[in-house]
């Protein structure tokens, strides 16, 4: 992976994490070690339309109806995490992949390690399915998600479109 400075991801704290202030702050503080948190939006009620757009590429997945129904009409928190460090990166295609494998952990809680955020926060999950955090895979995916979630904020979209094309 290149060590370009324009890498960022879209992060969403799902309802169990978003409604627990201590848990959301814990997650944010851990992520601050790896990037600058920008454009935080808290207590945002998710419309069914928005969540269907967000998970559109997963519409054939077994989990699609479950996750879209679970998130619809619930409050979430979201932000952009912009990389603020340089790492070797030889084992990772992107900043998002690094975060998912080394910091956040797998969406499958049984594949997380004891130091992953999802494992550390497991006791706060409302049920096993609740993996608490969404993180985009890479900058390209993050841009698409930023366009969905910040659709009424053209300045935010423009900021990351320019950084993503750098």
Would you state the structure tokens that stand for residue 160, as one six-digit string? 């990351």
User: How far is residue 99's CA from residue 12's CA, in Å, rounded to a whole number?
Assistant: 13
pLDDT greater at residue 89 or residue 20: 20
> Strand pairing of 133-135 and 35-45?
unpaired
- Model confidence over 129-140: pLDDT tens digits? 567 899 999 999
User: How far is residue 148's CA from residue 114's CA, in Å, rounded to a whole number?
Assistant: 33
Spatial contact of 59 and 48, defined as CB atoms under 8 Å apart: no
* Domain ranges, ordered by start, for the chain: 8-164
The conformation of residue 103, written as its DSSP 8-state character, comes to: I
Burial class (CB in 10 A: 0-12, 13-18, 19+), 121: buried
Spatial contact of 64 and 71, defined as CB atoms under 8 Å apart: no
When the candidates are 2.70.70.10, 3.30.70.141, 3.90.870.30, 3.40.50.720, the CATH number that belongs to 8-164 is: 3.30.70.141
- Comparing CA positions, the residue from 106, 95, 104 lying closest to residue 141 is 95
The pLDDT assigned to 3 comes to: 42
Q: What is the mean pLDDT of the chain?
A: 87
User: How far is residue 73's CA from residue 151's CA, in Å, rounded to a whole number?
Assistant: 18
**Is it the case that residue 125 has pLDDT exceeding 60?**
no
The string of DSSP letters for 93-123 reads SSHHHHIIIIII--SSGGG--TTSHHHHTGG
Mean pLDDT, range 73-87, rounded to an integer = 90
pTM, full prediction: 0.90
């Amino acid at each position: 992976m290149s060590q370009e400075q324009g890498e960022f991801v879209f992060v969403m704290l799902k309802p169990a994490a978003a409604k627990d202030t201590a848990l959301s702050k814990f997650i944010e503080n851990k992520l601050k070690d790896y990037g600058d948190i920008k454009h935080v939006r808290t207590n945002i009620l998710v419309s069914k339309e928005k969540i269907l757009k967000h998970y559109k590429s997963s519409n054939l997945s077994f989990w699609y109806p479950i996750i879209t129904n679970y998130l619809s009409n619930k409050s979430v928190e979201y932000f952009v995490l912009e990389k603020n460090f340089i790492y070797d990166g030889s084992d990772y295609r992107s900043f998002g992949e690094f975060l998912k494998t080394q910091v956040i952990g797998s969406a499958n809680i049984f594949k997380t390690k004891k130091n992953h955020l999802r494992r550390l926060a497991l006791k706060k999950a409302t049920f096993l399915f609740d993996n608490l955090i969404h993180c985009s895979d890479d900058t390209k995916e993050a841009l698409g998600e930023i366009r969905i979630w910040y659709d009424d904020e053209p300045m935010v979209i423009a900021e990351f479109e320019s950084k993503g094309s750098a």
